[in-house]
Amino acid sequence: PSLTTFELMPRFAIEIALTHIPGLRDPLSEPHEWYVMPEFSFFDSDDAHEKAALWLSAAIELGFVDDAVISESLSQRDAFWAIRESIPEAQVREGPSIKHDISVPIAEIPDFIETVCTKIVEDLPGVRPCVFGHVGDGNLHFNLQSPKEMDESAYAKHAERLHALVYRHVVERKGSVSAEHGIGQVKRVQLAATKDPQVLALMRQIKAMIDPDGRMNPGKVL
């Protein structure tokens, strides 16, 4: 089999999805702090369920997994995915959030999440980290839900400081301040502050060679 997906979700993300998005069901009988959703592709489907069950049993015996469920049908698989895909909309309905689309080396992810979430909460008590994403490629949506009693305008005043805190730890771990959503206009400052000047100079040279008149997507990235 090949591993095609490995998604990470915290309990907080699942709870707000269950609260705000109709039709979703809790995937397990008991709540847990963190959830992963791996998806495997099998070339021979005859024993796919058996192989997945053996893999999960081994993971449970080794203490890596507390509880698990295997999708028994495409509809159940879609129900699992519906939870993951509902998180962004659930965050909107829950209230203001400060978002980061980042990546760090896969081996750094556990320590990065623990360290940065601790520092974020120390900096702004009541903030609710909602960290989820594609762990298989190191991509995290490191989102910070506002404290429950804080409105959007008050929360926005903390954005610049919280951005700086998150990005500083990303750079320390040789990660990227933008993973799958690109740089655009919003992250030009962060790109300039975090990339090697020689790398930026080379990027500008390549851009100038391809687009000497600056007509292609002007004002973006560089």
Least confident of 15-24, 79-88, 164-173, 195-204: 195-204
DSSP 60-126: HHTTS-S------SHHHHHHHHHHHHHHHHHHHHH--EE--EEE--GGGHHHHHHHHHHHHHHHSTT
- List, for residues 53-87, the tens digit of each pLDDT value: 898 999 999 999 999 999 988 999 999 999 999 99
Would the CATH topology of 95-181 be identical to that of 183-222?
no
Phi, psi of 45 (to 5 degrees): -80, -10
pLDDT of residue 55: 87
pLDDT of residue 137: 85
Q: For residue 27, name the pLDDT band (cuts at 50, 70, 90).
A: very high
Task: Note the CATH number of domain 2-93.
Answer: 3.30.70.2190
Asked if pLDDT for residue 110 goes beyond 80, the answer is yes
Alpha-carbon dihedral of residues 167, 169, 172, 175, nearest 10 degrees? -60
- pTM attached to this predicted model: 0.81
Percent of the chain, pLDDT > 90? 65
State how far the Cα of 28 lies from the Cα of 194, in Å rounded to an integer: 41
pLDDT of residue 200: 75
CATH superfamily of 183-222: Vanillyl-alcohol Oxidase; Chain A, domain 4 (1.10.45.10)
- The per-residue pLDDT of the chain, averaged, comes to 89
Average pLDDT (77-103) is: 96
- List, for residues 180-222, the tens digit of each pLDDT value: 555 555 566 666 666 677 777 887 889 888 988 888 877 766 6
pLDDT of residue 189: 64
For domain 95-181, which architecture applies?
Answer: 2-Layer Sandwich (3.30)
State how far the Cα of 136 lies from the Cα of 130, in Å rounded to an integer: 18
pLDDT of residue 97: 97
State how far the Cα of 175 lies from the Cα of 138, in Å rounded to an integer: 9
Asked if pLDDT for residue 178 goes beyond 80, the answer is no
Average pLDDT (12-39) is: 96
Domain extent listing, the chain: 2-93, 95-181, 183-222
Give the pairing type, strands 2-10 and 128-134: antiparallel
pLDDT of residue 9: 97
Rounded CA Rg of the chain: 20
Asked if pLDDT for residue 92 goes beyond 90, the answer is yes
pLDDT of residue 179: 61
